[in-house]
Amino acid sequence: MKRKIIACEVFKPYLEQIFLRLPKEEIDYLEIKQHNHPEILANHLQEKIDVITDVDEILVLYGLCGNAILPLIARTIPIRVLRVHDCAAVLLGSNKAYQERFEGNPFKRYHCFSYGDKEEEYFSKTSPEYRKIADQYGEDNADYVYEMLYDKFSAQVTYIRLGLEGENEQLSRHEPGYYSVIDGHLGMLEKILKNDPDSTDLVLHPNEHFEGVYDYQEVIKTVKNGVL
């Protein structure tokens, strides 16, 4: 089966690990953190999808991601997506692990190696992002943003560890206890790449659309167009 793969850059280091075991495939990566603007991400994804021809399937390594995938249209080629809320479920290896970690827990902030020092996820008073805001809007405003975006959510940031080189160094940048470290699993990513029948995915065919279910099991479903 011929396919094209589009993926969020969050998966890049993990896919590179997987491709040490599986045949390497070319991946078109989109910049990380676009889920903050789901409509923009949806447009970017659709633009990428619409120029693909001569394949049997387009594998889009995204989940709901703030509902960014809901508007996607499979014009002539089916689109396979991850049946998850976000990348944390993928890196934890299953929706079950994700539910165990996050259901009933309002502190859903998580971090992983590929987020690196991205804005908001790593917003501390020594970060370049803090400095940028302080230089542009004053330290008083930077302190306010820090309090609203960082301090409030700083309790129990989950760090999903997958055994990559560099993870320990990243963890050591914060004071002990800042992260609650949990070991993830790349099984979900491997299964979707291997077309495993047990894969946590969903295929959108032409004349169908996605609908959010928003639980921890089904998460998303497909519905025939024109059906209410």
Q: Which residues in this chain contact another protein in the complex, by CB under 8 A?
A: 36-38, 40, 64, 66-67, 70, 85-86, 102-108, 119-120, 133, 137-138, 140-141, 144-145, 148-149, 152-153, 211-212, 214-216
Of 4, 83, 72, nearest to 38 by C-alpha is: 72
- Please, which residue, 50 or 215, has the CB nearer to another protein? 215
- Please, which residue, 66 or 184, has the CB nearer to another protein? 66
Considering the complex, what minimum distance in angstroms separates the CB of residue 214 from another protein? Answer: 4
CA distances from 84 to 17, 61, 155, 209 (A): 21, 10, 24, 16
- Please, which residue, 37 or 96, has the CB nearer to another protein? 37
Considering the complex, what minimum distance in angstroms separates the CB of residue 227 from another protein? Answer: 13
Considering the complex, what minimum distance in angstroms separates the CB of residue 74 from another protein? Answer: 18
Question: DSSP class of residue 166?
Answer: T
Considering the complex, what minimum distance in angstroms separates the CB of residue 26 from another protein? Answer: 28
Considering the complex, what minimum distance in angstroms separates the CB of residue 77 from another protein? Answer: 24
Considering the complex, what minimum distance in angstroms separates the CB of residue 126 from another protein? Answer: 16
- Please, which residue, 56 or 218, has the CB nearer to another protein? 218
Q: Which residues contact 160 (CB under 8 A, 6 or more apart)?
A: 88, 91, 92, 110, 111, 112, 182, 183, 184
**What backbone torsions phi and psi does residue 222 show, to the nearest 5 degrees?**
-110, 145
- Please, which residue, 17 or 222, has the CB nearer to another protein? 222
Radius of gyration of the chain (CA): 19
C-alpha to C-alpha distance for 68 and 152, rounded to whole angstroms: 26
C-alpha to C-alpha distance for 217 and 162, rounded to whole angstroms: 23
- Please, which residue, 105 or 195, has the CB nearer to another protein? 105
CA distances from 126 to 119, 137, 158 (A): 12, 16, 21
